[in-house]
Amino acid sequence: MRAPRRLLRAISASVSLAAVFAVAAPAAGADPYYVPTHLPRHYQLLVAAGPYTKGEYAGMSTIGYVRDNTDQPNVDVADEPELEVLTHTHGSCCYYDLTTRERPIRIRGHRGTTAKLVDGSAEYGQVIVWEERPGVKIEVASVWSLPHGQLKDVAEDVATVSERYWRRLVVGTTLIPSEGALRRRPRRVLDQGTAAGHAWVFRARIPRGWPLGWYDFRVPCPELSYRGRRILSRWECELWPGLWRLLDDQIFVYGVFPSLRVGRVRIRDQGNADDRGVVVPTHVVTDGKRRFTFYVAAMPRDTCWVTIERVKSRRLLAGAGPGYDAERKRCSPAGMP
């Protein structure tokens, strides 16, 4: 099941999740939402989704985890779940339906099945499936890594959370908002100025109710307004450190750094060796635990590919260039990509 890259927060594997998730029976008539109460070492929450209301997976909800690769610092955290607990409430099953080497297993006092996951002739993981109660089936799957004994331990210790808590999990782990949700977010002015005699305003769109809890991975998103036009894109909520944008024929460079205490930054045109650059302040937005550092600069119209660096240390932080065909063509004589 594919999911966009998300900002993750590690959970200590030695800590029981039962207290964290406030385990409780679902209200009468409500769909149950099952989560693991213990995780294998170095696993952390990635995403919660569902229940889906239409299509092949109607009635399914899922919560997924990935390894944090603490012992492999040069390996990125996976984009997709490596461990999932999926709840099926319409009696249908299963998401991971391509299996081999099925055999019976007993889970939580219920008869179930364990099997290997296959892609063609290649085995790539394993799954355990059982009916928890009439009409409710649970699927616990591991992609690539988890030994069978640990997967069985996860399955044995699943428990329900309240519908309210589940909804908050789904919202908090949805890093890329819908267009409607993004436009409904409150705005905070971070910086403003003039370019070519016209005013511009740089804002952050703050997630509603932010933060909802330790599981809230959402981030503030940049918004730029100039001469009655605006750039506000849900895809810019992924913490881009450097963005080169053209708004009403005016070039702006802006971005967001997570966690860093940056101070001022210098934005310099790579194609101009004599360019001293534009120096601008940075602006911090915080949810009380995490820090996001924003910056913006109006640039000369002949600006091409730029570097963004700290003023004091001259440390390179990011680079950015035009994402428009006409602008790339204009910049190509400078020898840039």
pLDDT score, position 91: 72
pLDDT score, position 259: 84
**Pairing mode, if any, of strands 198-205 and 187-195?**
antiparallel
pLDDT score, position 78: 54
Contact between 36 and 85 under an 8 Å Cβ cutoff? The reply is yes
pLDDT score, position 121: 82
pLDDT score, position 77: 47
pLDDT score, position 93: 87
**CA quadruple 80, 82, 87, 93: dihedral positive or negative?**
positive
pLDDT score, position 113: 94
pLDDT score, position 260: 82
Euclidean distance between CA atoms 231 and 56, whole angstroms: 36
pLDDT score, position 98: 82
**Nearby residues of 311 by Cβ (< 8 Å), 6 or more positions away:** 263, 264, 265, 266, 279
Q: Residue written as tokens 């099941």?
A: 1
**CA quadruple 149, 150, 153, 158: dihedral positive or negative?**
negative
Q: Give the mean pLDDT of the chain.
A: 85
Give pLDDT < 70 ranges for the chain: 1-30, 69-78, 273, 333-337
According to DSSP, the residues that pair with 130 across neighbouring strands are 112, 138
For the chain, what are the domain ranges? Answer: 17-172, 179-334
pTM: 0.78
